[in-house]
A and B are shown apart, each in its own frame.
Chain A
């Protein structure tokens, strides 16, 4: 690069030396000193400017083009030569500088041409200065005064000159107007920073072009006036590189303003102010700034929101510059592409801002994480309070409706101001404990909010010299728990107080738990000791335990229910008959267990057995009674009748032979017959007393009393009772009287019958020796069976020496 610069400079010096020599030694130049000065000033202004631009942007062709403008301009010096060929070449090339200038101008600032129009303008400019000038010379023999002859001259043709003139004017017009239009369009489209770059060149160039146009226009009227305007052209032309240099100087000044920027950045608060400062320094009001958060892999813009760098950078005319701090990207500046021209400035601004941006990035990262945590807090159902040591509310997070008072009232208040004393004590003590020990303090409290009691579980953690209290409501949970507990208690009470025996066992027969009823029956307390053992070992009598184990295990294997009847162990070493069943039942953990539910039926069994025996006794008693009747008939009346029959036959036989004997026989037969009748009557009474059916209990008892061998007093109502009741009462009295006569050695008997509470009560009391075995004799036992068959009850009180009372109570509606 440096070599090239030197080469250009040396070429420039040599060319200038040549040009000066030609100019100052010219024989036809009227004002050689002035022209030489112009070369020195204008030509070198362009060359120096071009080189500076080239150095600044080596890849940009604008620098070389500017330098070329200078060199091309210098070619015009050839026309100062006295040699005709050199003069003519110089005469034609003298306009080349203008064409290259137009080229450079239209390539500014990118250094290359765009659009067909621009190509057309530049092409026309070159054609105009080279082609049309040469073409004009074909028909113009005249040269300047004292100048060498025109070697291109072919023929003197005013038409040719006219054509050349028209072409020249048309071409110049197109070039000038086209260039003006392009510049105007570019200016309109340019962003402020770009205009800042364009302004110096555009203004001076526009002026130059304007004066060129003016000069051409004026030349049609007066060549002197045109010459004057050409001076303006030269002047304006000379101003172009100067303006460019001035632009560069302005950049230098702008860079100096970076120092001011640093001061502004230091005092800037927040990303927005940083952006404003940078935008001000770079004169790019649309500049955007975003910081990079490596934790979340995000760009955050000035508004604190996510920044879409891809979209921003893809915008037309935008470029991004990354700001690095300590080798790490901290931010990006999305700015006008024109600022590429001021790359150094951007770099300087970027470097100056890096520290502040790095700091800002940290702030943004903190804000981001804070907002994330805040979102997390807001999403959490928990209430959060920050307290100082004294229990003053510093901050809270949660729904206002969960607070005991309004947020405004709460913040700054002390716990004791807004909470009941006991709750406030609890909280303040917890806060102090957390702050002092640094440990998590937990507890719960109940407060009344809007008239409703609400329960909260509190966790208090230390936060510096303050404490954070996190409160979670569990009112509903507590209510549900209480309800659950109540239901459990209810079920437990029902289970414990039910007459049924309940026992839960697992599939291996291990006792899980059982109810109080079973505890009472077995006398085994439901404790951990019992729960380890097998059901059959604890509750079933040893003789049946093995059978129950077998049945239960097979039921468990099938998961089936079953019904059983076994002897269970009863408290005190006894046995109880239990009818029981098993039901597969999932416990609260979903495990397949078995519920054994049983009912003690010992008493029922006993009653059934008693009933069975009572029936058997009744049947036996009936049989015995029939046997007795048969024996009585056979031994009594029948024998007498047989004797009677034989006696009558004998008497008949003796009637004729021995009438006296026959008469005796008939007499004894008559006696025998009377006795037989009496025995039959007695027997019939024994089967069923006819008087009882015909005249009722009272009369029947009076008859009994009348036949008794001792004084009997009868008190009985005259009303009739149901026949079975009358019969039972009759036989009770009859049997009792028989016993009195046999054993009691009594002197009198009281018989009393009355209706009492829906029962017929029959009582036979004697004043005998007592000591009767109540149910020992078959007679009384049979009576009891008879009475119990009617759902009645027979009692015998017979203390020795205190007489005997037989009392029957028979239900009688």
Chain B
């Protein structure tokens, strides 16, 4: 069972996302509310997957993804946002993330589809 770290500044989304992903068979190992704590959590927890919100209070999801990507054993990163992927253009592909799941469409199935 893959371990997941959820990074989002909205507690309600983190709770809902944890419930959905756990219901769909993922092991949510931790949550982070901003970029800085997300990086720390990755170092501490070594999750397999990071569900990373693009819009964070300190740095955006792309910067966090790039930062995490510089380490050798980087987790697999899936970006999410209430916006559409088209709003971000090539940024998603360039930052080292595996893919993007819109927040409104988040489910275990959708996540696995990106990870596959």
Contact = CB atoms under 8 A, between A and B. Distances in A.
Interface range, B side: 10 to 19
A619 interface: no
A634 B83 CA distance: 8
Contact of B13 (A634, A639, A654): A639
A639 B104 CA distance: 9
Given A634-B55, A634-B83, A642 B104 contact: yes
Interface of B: 10, 12-13, 16-17, 19-20, 23, 55, 82-83, 103-104, 106-107
A638 B23 contact: no
A642 B103 contact: yes
Contact of A650 (B19, B55, B82, B104): B19
A650 B20 contact: yes
A410 B74 CA distance: 135
A653 interface: yes
B80 to A, nearest CB: 10
Contact of B23 (A643, A645, A653): A653
A642 B83 contact: no
Interface string A628-657: 000000100011011101110110011000
B94 to A, nearest CB: 23
A645 B104 contact: yes
Nearest to B102: A642
A642 to B, nearest CB: 4
Contacts of A643: 10, 12-13, 16
Contacts of B13: 639, 642-643, 646
B34 to A, nearest CB: 15
A646 B104 CA distance: 6
List 8 A-B pairs, minimum CB-CB distance, nearest first: A646-B16, A642-B103, A645-B104, A642-B82, A638-B82, A643-B12, A642-B104, A650-B19
A649 B103 CA distance: 12
Interface SS of A by simple majority: helix
Contacts of B10: 639, 643
A634 B20 contact: no
A480 B31 CA distance: 104
A638 B82 CA distance: 7
Contacts of A654: 23
Nearest to B13: A643
Interface residues of A, number: 13
Nearest to A641: B104
Contacts of A641: 104
B12 to A, nearest CB: 5
Nearest to B106: A646
30 contacts: A634-B55, A634-B82, A634-B83, A639-B10, A639-B12, A639-B13, A639-B82, A642-B13, A642-B82, A642-B103, A642-B104, A643-B12, A643-B13, A645-B103, A645-B104, A646-B13, A646-B16, A646-B17, A646-B20, A646-B103, A646-B106, A647-B16, A649-B20, A650-B16, A650-B19, A650-B20, A650-B23, A653-B20, A653-B23, A654-B23
Contacts of B104: 641-642, 645-646
A643 B14 CA distance: 10
A647 B106 CA distance: 11
A759 B106 CA distance: 57
A646 B55 CA distance: 18
Given A642-B104, A646-B20, 7 more contacts: A634-B55, A639-B10, A639-B12, A643-B10, A645-B104, A646-B104, A650-B23
Nearest to B8: A639
Contacts of A647: 16
Contacts of A638: 82
Nearest to B103: A642
A647 B103 CA distance: 12
A638 B104 CA distance: 10
B13, B20, B55, B104 interface centre (most CB from chain A within 10 Å): B104
Nearest to B83: A634
A538 to B, nearest CB: 61
A746 to B, nearest CB: 34
Contacts of B106: 646
Contacts of B19: 650
Contacts of A650: 16, 19-20, 23
B16, B17, B23, B55 interface centre (most CB from chain A within 10 Å): B16
Contacts of B107: 649
Nearest to B108: A653
Contacts of A653: 20, 23
A529 B51 CA distance: 84
